Amino acid sequence: MKQIKTLTKASLKETKSKGGCGECQTSCQSACKTSCTVANQKCENI
Amino acid sequence: MIHQYTMFGLNIVLDVYSGAVHAVSDAVYEILLYLADETELPDTIPANVLNILSERYTKDELIEAYGEIYELHKQGLLLTDDEYKDLALNLPKKSVVKALCLHIAHDCNLRCSYCFADTGSFKGKRSLMSFETGKKAIDFVIENSEHRRNIEIDFFGGEPLINFKVVKQITEYAKEQGKLHDKNFRFTITTNGLLLNDEINDYINENMSNVVLSLDGRPQINDRVRRRVDGTGSYDTIVPKFKKLVESRGTKDYYIRGTFTANNLDFAQDVMHIVSLGFKQTSMEPVVVPDTEYYAILPEHLNKIYSEYERLAQIYIEKRQSGEPFNFFHFMIDLDQGPCVIKRLSGCGAGHEYLAITPDGDIYPCHQFVGDKNFYMGNVFDKTFDLSIKEKFEKSNVYTKPSCQDCFAKFYCSGGCCANAYHFNNDINKPYEMACAMERKRVECAIAIAAKLKLDE
């Protein structure tokens, strides 16, 4: 494509069926303790 | 639903429901302004859009731009529809406890003026957790975690190092019980650093997967707020101790975690001061206090905060590109390998997956609810555990929060912090708007950083 560069195709929809195992870290435990960025957590089931 | 914005000279388009991110031409960007609410597209560019934009772009340019938009739409990467609502309403109702915040000490050797924990006492009597309480808490999480293997324990306070003997006893007990019950305990500790020494460093490095070290940045900024009981500052004592701990830690995780207030809205300077000390893992959080406090962050501060995040993001990119990278907690969004949508819907897990335990063994939804009788959930000694409160938190997600519905950042913050929502709006499902505004800016910066770095590769 000439006018659009897709930087990530990471499809959230694909994780709908295989996600939810819950083995990932609780986000509040990592560094914030007051706010809530979840998207920087790692999946532990890849 | 899409979100489009410009940063670092890039036109960025986030497709909210697929998670796809695109850098686009000016023509595509402008066409999308007219299509933002669409989920079904015609196969040729709408005549009205073509007419309006013909003043600035050639017909061929617009047709080509629309063709690319249409192709990505068909691939499910642009202007996609919401497919998660039913999923959110039918999430597994019975979650299991997998993380505890252990309040090792309801006391502290600092008297920070912004402390949400009332300078360590959590609005109660100053007290220390006993080993017995810690054991009961570990037993509690093992009993309530069912098949979940990874269990997190955060040693928190107050200041946990004033009761470090018990931290060690609980850690050893959890490791021993973990072997018996096939649980992988991961420990973290949050400390102001005053009491760190070689012996404690060795134990932390051996046992704690992450350590959160509190420092607000420049000496005058830190010492204005983070003062000892006698009123003197803490910077000169803690910085050498943090350096020693971090140097001895090897590749294990740590964060230097600061708080900014209305007194240092130029907080990027504090992050960079921390980096200049040699630390690479940083976090800087906005203070959360009632608007009546003189250092509270208020709506009129937001524009300055936005430009400060953007300034920090610019430096973040420059440092990466010059081979001197550092991490900033909220900018560490991996566009390719983030968490699943179920995690993004349900958030931090407070009140159901994540609980706080006080020195007396009382159970609360998280550290920020401790001491609030309305959120008392039970006690690890008599094994009471109020499932009705647990259920309220279990049911709360992005789709139970009306103000999240039109927000592009909802899958990055999961609807925000329930405690902030409750404390400002008296409802865990009504997010604290100031936090939302700052989170949206951080998410924009994080995506723009990732985009810029990828395009410059």
Mean pLDDT of B143-160: 94
Contact criterion met (CB < 8 Å) for A30 and B343: no
Question: Which is nearest to B446 in space by CA: B255, B295, B317?
Answer: B317
Tell me if chain A has a CB within 8 Å of the CB of B429.
no
Question: Which is nearest to B279 in space by CA: B238, B232, B309?
Answer: B238
Q: What is the CA radius of gyration of chain B?
A: 24
Contact criterion met (CB < 8 Å) for B341 and A15: yes
Residues B399 and B410: their CA atoms lie apart, in Å, by 9
Contact criterion met (CB < 8 Å) for B152 and A26: yes
Residues B333 and B166: their CA atoms lie apart, in Å, by 36
- Residue B275 is predicted with a pLDDT of 98
CA angle, B255 then B257 then B260, to 5°: 155
Beta bridge partners of B226: none
Residues B281 and B332: their CA atoms lie apart, in Å, by 10
HEC per residue, B72-119: HHHCCCCCCCCCCHHHHHCCCCCCCCCEEEEECEECCCECCCCCCCCC
Residue B29: strand, helix, or coil? helix
B232: left (phi over 0), alpha (psi -120 to 50) or beta: beta
Instruction: Give the tens place of pLDDT for each residue, B359-416.
Output: 999 999 999 999 999 999 999 999 999 999 999 999 999 999 999 999 999 999 989 9
DSSP B369-421: GTT-GGG--EETTTTEE-HHHHHHHHH-SGGG-GGGTT-TTHHHHTT--HHHH
Mean pLDDT of B281-303: 95
Instruction: Give the tens place of pLDDT for each residue, B7-45.
Output: 999 999 999 999 999 999 999 999 999 998 888 999 999
From A41's Cα to the closest Cα of chain B, the distance in A is 6
Contact criterion met (CB < 8 Å) for B87 and A16: yes
Chain B residues in contact with A34 (beta carbon < 8 A)? 116, 259, 285-286, 288, 368, 417, 420
Q: Above 90 in pLDDT, residue B337?
A: no
Restricting to A residues 9-28, those with a Cβ less than 8 Å away from any Cβ of B are: 9-13, 15-16, 18-20, 22-28
- Please tell me which of the candidates B257, B259, B343 has its beta carbon nearest to residue A41: B343
Contact criterion met (CB < 8 Å) for A39 and B455: no
Chain A residues in contact with B86 (beta carbon < 8 A)? none
> Cα–Cα distances in Å, from B130 out to A3, B68, B103, B105, B160?
63, 64, 10, 9, 12
Contact criterion met (CB < 8 Å) for A36 and B212: no
Question: DSSP code of B257?
Answer: E
Percent of chain B with pLDDT strictly greater than 70? 100
Give the end-to-end CA distance of chain B in Å, rounded to a whole number: 29
- Please tell me which of the candidates B25, B412, B438 has its beta carbon nearest to residue A3: B25
Tell me if chain A has a CB within 8 Å of the CB of B332.
yes
ipTM of model over 0.85 = yes
The two three-digit tokens of residue B393, written as one number: 């938190």
Residues B259 and B221: their CA atoms lie apart, in Å, by 10
Chain B residues in contact with A11 (beta carbon < 8 A)? 18-20, 76-77
Beta bridge partners of B285: B259
Q: Above 70 in pLDDT, residue B352?
A: yes
Confidence of residue A46 (pLDDT cuts 50, 70, 90): low
The two three-digit tokens of residue B238, written as one number: 């803690």
Residues B306 and B239: their CA atoms lie apart, in Å, by 28
Query: Residue B14: enclosing H or E segment and its boundaries?
Result: strand B10-15
Chain A residues in contact with B343 (beta carbon < 8 A)? 19-20, 24, 38, 41, 43
Contact criterion met (CB < 8 Å) for B25 and A31: no
Residue of A nearest to B10 (CA): A5
Mean pLDDT of B76-87: 92
Contact criterion met (CB < 8 Å) for A43 and B68: no
From A19's Cα to the closest Cα of chain B, the distance in A is 5
Q: Specify the amino acid at residue B62.
A: L
- Per the CB < 8 A criterion, the answer to whether B96 and B148 are in contact is yes
Full-model pTM: 0.95
From A14's Cα to the closest Cα of chain B, the distance in A is 9
- Residue B343 is predicted with a pLDDT of 86
Percent of chain A with pLDDT strictly greater than 90? 15
